[in-house]
């Protein structure tokens, strides 16, 4: 198993699996969110145009669910990693539940947005969900009255922070994926980029991810159990 040096540049990409032990449903596991909802209905702009109330119902529920949960041991292990590697550490997440921030991660790159925010489809003003009338069927912009939409990057839209992510992938020595099926691009391709740029690649996942062929070291199991002990070993924080 790889022992990391304090000067290694470490980039971590997390997905829904890291929040599973906090009680948040993943997308593609059995019982996952995409089993009961059509992606095109609730996670595309055209779905929102067709039925904004349905889309709001879906994200309002997910917002309420995630507000009722807490970070787990894996989220906290990443906070320890950030403290140890300091400016050499970069956390990228596909998750929109905000749990990395709540755990104490300082600047997770939330590339698919965050359920706690929404923005105006007309004037683009951004709001904290708590500051809007979130419980009406379709929340309206307090500034201009147009529809608000969840601050979620839907399919067909460009993820946030791609410039920062690309820079971190070019420089990284170790790239770690945690709790992600490796099936949604561009995130699923980051491991290939990192590997081709010379990084060591590690995965911690319940099932084999789709991009396993680019992984040097695979730890199969639950991240809440596996990650804290790996972090202790990697950083010799025993
Ligand atoms: P998925 O639901 O596709 O994959 C979750 C992965 O986590 C699976 O490979 C599981 O094996 C693994 N897993 C489940 N429980 C775990 C645990 N306790 N510990 C470790 N691993 C566990 O979720 P993502 O890969 O995050 O995008 O999905 C990527 C994107 O697809 C999401 O950001 C979302 C979705 O559609 C948008 O909504 C734009
Ligand atoms: Zn507005």
**Residue ranges lining ligand 1, Cβ < 6 Å:** 15-17, 20-21, 26-29, 32, 43, 94, 112, 153-155, 179-181, 183-184, 205-207, 209, 222-224
Which atom of ligand 1 sits closest to the CA of residue 32?
A: 2
| Residues labelled catalytic | 112
132 & 215 share domain:
no
Which residue is closest in CA terms to ligand 1's atom 23?
Answer: 16
User: Token pair of 62, please?
Assistant: 């997910």
Which atom of ligand 1 sits closest to the CA of residue 182?
A: 25
176 & 204 share domain:
yes
**Which pLDDT does position 1 carry in this prediction?**
67
224 & 177 share domain:
yes
For 148, list phi and psi in degrees, rounded to 5.
Answer: -90, 155
* Strand 10-14, strand 109-110: pairing: unpaired
Which residue is closest in CA terms to ligand 1's atom 6?
Answer: 180
Q: What is the pTM of this model?
A: 0.96
Tens-place pLDDT, residues 180-192: 999 999 999 999 9
**Which pLDDT does position 238 carry in this prediction?**
44
Tens-place pLDDT, residues 97-149: 999 999 999 999 999 999 999 999 999 999 999 999 888 999 999 999 999 99
Mean pLDDT of 47-75: 96
40 & 1 share domain:
no
Instruction: Give, for 178, the enclosing helix (H) or strand (E).
Output: strand 174-178
223 & 164 share domain:
yes
95 & 204 share domain:
yes
Ligand with minimal distance to 59 CA: 1
35 & 108 share domain:
no
- Binned at pLDDT 50, 70 and 90, residue 31 comes out as confident
Which residue is closest in CA terms to ligand 1's atom 14?
Answer: 17
Q: Please state the domain count of the chain.
A: 2
Neighbouring CB atoms inside 10 A of 216's CB total 14
Tens-place pLDDT, residues 19-29: 999 999 999 88
104 & 15 share domain:
yes
Compute the mean pLDDT over every residue in the chain, rounded to the nearest whole number. 95
169 & 107 share domain:
yes
- Binned at pLDDT 50, 70 and 90, residue 64 comes out as very high
Ligand 2 center to 58 CA (angstroms): 22
Ligand 1 center to 184 CA (angstroms): 9
57 & 124 share domain:
yes
The whole domain housing 122 covers 25-68+115-152
187 & 228 share domain:
yes
pLDDT at residue 2 tops 80: no
Domain boundary among 103, 123, 152: 152
| Domain CATH for 61 | 3.30.1600.10
Which atom of ligand 1 sits closest to the CA of residue 34?
A: 36
Token pair 């040096």 in the structure block, residue: 5
Helices marked H in the chain: 17-20, 33-36, 39-42, 45-50, 52-67, 73-85, 99-103, 162-171, 190-196, 223-235
* Measured distance CA(182)–CA(184) in Å, rounded: 6
213 & 225 share domain:
yes
Which residue is closest in CA terms to ligand 1's atom 13?
Answer: 17
| Domain CATH for 92 | 3.40.50.1220
User: Token pair of 17, please?
Assistant: 């699996």
């Amino acid at each position: 198993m790889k022992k990391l040096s304090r000067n290694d540049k470490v980039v971590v990409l997390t997905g829904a699996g890291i929040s599973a032990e906090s009680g948040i449903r993943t997308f593609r596991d059995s019982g996952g969110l995409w089993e009961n909802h059509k992606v095109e209905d609730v996670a595309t702009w055209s779905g929102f145009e067709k039925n904004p109330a349905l889309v709001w119902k879906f994200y309002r529920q997910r917002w309420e669910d995630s507000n009722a949960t807490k970070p787990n041991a894996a989220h906290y292990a990443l906070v320890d990693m950030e403290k140890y590697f300091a400016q050499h550490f970069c956390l990228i997440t596909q998750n929109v539940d905000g749990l990395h921030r709540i755990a104490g991660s300082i600047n997770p790159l939330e590339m698919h947005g965050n359920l706690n925010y929404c923005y105006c489809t007309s004037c683009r003003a951004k709001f904290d969900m708590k500051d809007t009338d979130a419980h009406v069927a379709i929340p309206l912009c307090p500034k201009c009255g147009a529809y608000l939409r969840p601050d979620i990057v839907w399919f067909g839209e460009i993820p946030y922070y791609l410039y920062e992510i690309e820079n971190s992938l070019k420089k990284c020595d170790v790239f770690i994926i945690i709790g992600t099926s490796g099936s949604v691009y561009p995130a699923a391709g980051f491991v290939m980029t990192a590997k081709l740029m010379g990084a060591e690649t590690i995965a911690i996942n319940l099932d084999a991810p789709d991009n396993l062929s680019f992984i040097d070291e695979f730890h199969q199991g639950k991240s809440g159990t596996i990650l804290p002990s790996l972090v202790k070993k990697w950083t010799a924080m025993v």
